[in-house]
């Protein structure tokens, strides 16, 4: 019970890495606030968490509607008084295509979720993290942000912007109880990975459950790491 009685908010909790993080946090004793659009998948997650003895609150929300993120803070403050752990996991891959052919609407959509929604979330949740004795924030990045490759378009550029934003936030919170870090999960068996690499055999990749340890460790009140970029595979001892 490494996260006993901690309150965690996880975005993109309906499937993939976010769902695995939510399940693992609940198993470690946290109450998990699960954010995503797909109500049915959130309800299934809730059933699983409850069956395993944990507890969750479901928040069906389209994070691209960034103005709705502002409305999260007041009810969370009233119900919980604080947030101990924030995981900015939800993201959109967009399209693998040359930059000069990238559809402008899709470019903006990817930035809206991968960058703008995370800033809006930080803005809304920062006072709640401050209200925690040990606020921990974790954002999911990708090797695409630093290892520049052709055709990764808005996804790579948006993750680079996210990296900068999170590193900036880490510097701004050094004198507080908040610690914030980036995690690069590496190739993981999810819907997003399958969309990026349709020819790949999914079973050759680590499952989301294989990398949850890094997210638990960074969420613990005793974790002192701040402003770091951590490779989940290295942290979890997964062979490349």
Ligand X SMILES: NC(=O)c1ccc[n+]([C@@H]2O[C@H](COP(=O)([O-])OP(=O)(O)OC[C@H]3O[C@@H](n4cnc5c(N)ncnc54)[C@H](OP(=O)(O)O)[C@@H]3O)[C@@H](O)[C@H]2O)c1
Q: Is 102 marked active-site?
A: no
| Number of other residues whose CB lies within 10 A of the CB of residue 130 | 14
Applying the rule CB under 6 A, the residues between 75 and 114 that interact with ligand X are 89-92, 113
- Is residue 142 part of the contact set for ligand X (CB under 6 A)? yes
Is the Cβ of residue 116 or residue 136 nearer to ligand X in the bound state? 116
- What CA–CA distances, in Å, run from 231 to 23, 184, 222? 21, 5, 20
Site track for ligand X across 52-71, x = CB under 6 A:
----------xxx-------
The single residue among 36, 125, 165, 214 that binds ligand X, judged by CB under 6 A, is 36
Closest distance to ligand X from the beta carbon of 239 (Å): 16
Q: Of 151, 155, 169, 197, which residue is the catalytic one?
A: 155
Closest distance to ligand X from the beta carbon of 150 (Å): 18
CA separation for the pair 221, 3 (Å, rounded): 8
Is the Cβ of residue 2 or residue 112 nearer to ligand X in the bound state? 112
Is the Cβ of residue 18 or residue 135 nearer to ligand X in the bound state? 18
The residue among 227, 222, 230, 87 whose CA lies nearest residue 170 is 227
Is the Cβ of residue 120 or residue 179 nearer to ligand X in the bound state? 120
Applying the rule CB under 6 A, the residues between 150 and 189 that interact with ligand X are 185, 187-188
Closest distance to ligand X from the beta carbon of 5 (Å): 25
Site track for ligand X across 185-224, x = CB under 6 A:
x-xx-xxxx-------------------------------
How many residues sit in the footprint of ligand X (CB under 6 A)? Answer: 28
Question: What DSSP letter does each residue of the chain carry, written as one string?
Answer: -TTTT-EEEEESTTSHHHHHHHHHHHHTT-EEEEEES-HHHHHHHHHHHHHTT-EEEEEE--TTSGGGTGGGHHHHHHHHS--SEEEE----------GGG--HHHHHHHHIIIIIHHHHHHHHHHHHHHTSTT-EEEEE--GGGTS--TT-HHHHHHHHHHHHHHHHHHHHTTTSS-EEEEEE--S-SSHHHHHH-TTS-GGGSPPGGGGHHHHHHHHSTT----S-EEEHHHHTT---
Contact set with ligand X (CB under 6 A): 11-12, 14-18, 36-38, 41, 62-64, 89-92, 113, 140, 142, 185, 187-188, 190-193
* Catalytic residue ranges: 155
């Amino acid at each position: 019970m490494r996260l006993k009685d901690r309150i965690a908010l996880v975005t993109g909790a309906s499937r993939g890495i976010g769902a695995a993080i939510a399940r693992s946090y609940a198993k470690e004793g946290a109450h998990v606030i699960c954010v995503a659009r797909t109500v049915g998948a959130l309800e299934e997650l809730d059933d699983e968490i409850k069956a395993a003895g944990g507890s969750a609150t479901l928040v069906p929300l389209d994070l691209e509607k960034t103005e709705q993120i502002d409305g999260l803070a007041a009810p969370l403050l009233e119900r919980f008084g604080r947030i101990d752990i924030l995981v900015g996991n939800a993201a959109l891959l967009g399209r693998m295509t040359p930059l000069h052919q990238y559809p402008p609407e899709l470019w903006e959509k990817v930035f809206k979720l991968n960058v703008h929604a995370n800033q809006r979330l930080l803005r809304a949740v920062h006072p709640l993290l401050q209200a925690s004795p040990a606020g921990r924030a974790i954002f999911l990045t990708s090797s695409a942000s630093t290892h520049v490759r052709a055709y990764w378009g808005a996804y790579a550029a948006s993750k680079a912007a996210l990296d900068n934003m999170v590193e900036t936030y880490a510097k701004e919170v050094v004198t507080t109880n908040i610690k914030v870090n980036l995690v690069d999960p590496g190739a993981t068996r999810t819907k997003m990975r399958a969309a990026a690499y349709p020819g790949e055999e999914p079973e050759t990749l680590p499952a989301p459950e294989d990398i949850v340890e890094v997210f638990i460790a960074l969420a613990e009140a005793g974790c002192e790491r701040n402003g770091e970029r951590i490779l989940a595979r290295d942290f979890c001892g997964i062979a490349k």
